[in-house]
Amino acid sequence: MSGVWVFTENKDGELLTVSKEALAAARRVADGLGQPLTALVFGQDVSAVAAAAFDLGADAVLGADDATLAPFRLEAVGPLATRLVQEREPAVLIAGGSTRGRDLAAWVAADLDAGLVADAIDLAVDGDTVKVTRPVYAGKLMADVFVTGGVQVLTTRSRAFAAAESAGNSGTAEWVAPAVTEEEIPTTVVGFEGKEGKVSLTDASIIVSGGRGVGGPEGFAPVQELADVLGGALGASRAAVDAGWIPYEHQVGQTGKTVSPDLYIASGISGAIQHQAGMRTSKLIVAVNKDPDAPIFKLAHYGIVGDLFQVLPALTAEFKKRL
Ligand SMILES: Cc1cc2nc3c(=O)[nH]c(=O)nc-3n(C[C@H](O)[C@H](O)[C@H](O)COP(=O)(O)OP(=O)(O)OC[C@H]3O[C@@H](n4cnc5c(N)ncnc54)[C@H](O)[C@@H]3O)c2cc1C
């Protein structure tokens, strides 16, 4: 088995950020192993995506360009990825930690009875094996995990790796046929409903979150205002979501989204272990809470003891002046 493969995702002819991060992580692994990096590019009209994968450091591109592969359906992409891995036997398959990347990794690993390590925040090479560092026990510990034997299937945590940058590479992709026909795919995608203008939580470099301390749906207004002035996304604790103050898509934590922004501002959030599980790998954590003993202050790099309804508007006004 030889070679490092990275599964990439694309939308509107462009590689997604999560795939650029996976490409950078996979490049590091390929260099460590001294093996070539191959990017998998699946979709329709994806020649520009293949060119972008070369530009971002792939040595080779293995692609499939077919209407059955766009939009993404696991029942079409999964069998294709499995077939290619079976035929060509790469040593490592890496996917970004999006829903699709995680689905695909699980599909291939289950099909091939291979070991899978999810949620890598660091990857290093140890002999012929990749050492995967991933958080365990809700992020309280970091574990180094290895897949021994067979293809090593890995997923990366979103925003744990810097996105690959243009390396100026180019090349000629190899195009293969899909593994299944439209008739064999049991699902049909009827459309997408986009949320225009909203910053996605998992992609956001800045997140401002509110918890039970905001006191009601209207209490999210100052949280949203601070997020807007910083160009960030709006997060929430489960208590606020369960109370019906904000939709589930904003929930951060063990049963919500896992995020790693450059800046995470937690306001009116106590810092329960299940909330920490989703945000403790944030690079800079600021907590605003009126209780000086709130557990969030143990995790925060900066803490402001005070009423969020005074502190957040003051921060918003100050950032407005300075930005
Ligand atoms: C299986 C399981 C999964 C879970 N998954 C998640 C998850 O994914 N995400 C998650 O968040 N939780 C999760 N929880 C729930 C978690 O245990 C906590 O109950 C929840 O995180 C608490 O939310 P909170 O911090 O907003 O509320 P609280 O713990 O009630 O804290 C509210 C905080 O607001 C402060 N406050 C109040 N008023 C103000 C004010 N005006 N200004 C400033 N501060 C103020 C208070 O001092 C307090 O610290 C899960 C629990 C279980 C059992």
Residues with CB under 6 A from ligand 1: 211-213, 237-240, 251, 253-256, 268-270, 272, 274-275, 278, 288-291, 294, 307-309
Which DSSP string corresponds to 220-237? GHHHHHHHHHHT-EEEE-
Identify the three-state secondary structure at position 250.
helix
The number of the ligand 1 atom at minimal distance from the alpha carbon of 308 is: 42
Residue 313 CB-density burial (10 A; 0-12 exposed, 13-18 middle, 19+ buried): middle
The number of the ligand 1 atom at minimal distance from the alpha carbon of 270 is: 49
Distance 63 CA to ligand 1 centre (A): 45
* 77 within 8 A of 42, measured Cβ to Cβ: yes
Query: What is d(CA 283, CA 159) in angstroms, rounded to the nearest whole number?
Result: 10
Question: To test ligand 1's pocket by mutation, which of 289, 309, 311 has the most ligand atoms within 8 angstroms of CB?
Answer: 289
The number of the ligand 1 atom at minimal distance from the alpha carbon of 278 is: 8
Residue 139 confidence (pLDDT):
81
Exposed e or buried b per residue across 143-159, where buried means at least 16 C-beta atoms within 10 angstroms of its C-beta: eebebeeebbbbbbbbb
The number of the ligand 1 atom at minimal distance from the alpha carbon of 256 is: 8
Distance 91 CA to ligand 1 centre (A): 43
Distance 37 CA to ligand 1 centre (A): 43
Nearest CA to ligand 1 atom 14: 274
Query: What is d(CA 148, CA 206) in angstroms, rounded to the nearest whole number?
Result: 37
Query: What is d(CA 40, CA 36) in angstroms, rounded to the nearest whole number?
Result: 13
Distance 216 CA to ligand 1 centre (A): 13
Q: What is the pLDDT along the chain (323 residues), one digit of tens a residue?
A: 899 999 999 999 999 999 999 999 999 999 999 999 999 999 999 999 999 999 999 999 999 999 999 999 999 999 999 999 999 999 999 999 999 999 999 999 999 999 999 999 999 999 999 999 999 987 889 999 999 989 999 999 998 999 999 999 999 999 999 999 999 999 999 998 877 667 788 889 999 999 999 999 999 999 999 999 999 999 999 999 999 999 999 999 999 999 999 999 999 999 999 999 999 989 999 999 999 999 999 999 999 999 999 999 999 999 999 98
Nearest CA to ligand 1 atom 4: 274
Beta strands 129-136 and 141-145, pairing class: antiparallel
Q: Rounded to two decimals, what is the model's pTM? A: 0.86
Residue 33 confidence (pLDDT):
97
Query: What is d(CA 131, CA 116) in angstroms, rounded to the nearest whole number?
Result: 12
In tens, the pLDDT along 113-158 reads: 999 999 999 999 999 999 999 999 878 899 999 999 899 999 999 9
The number of the ligand 1 atom at minimal distance from the alpha carbon of 215 is: 38
The number of the ligand 1 atom at minimal distance from the alpha carbon of 239 is: 23
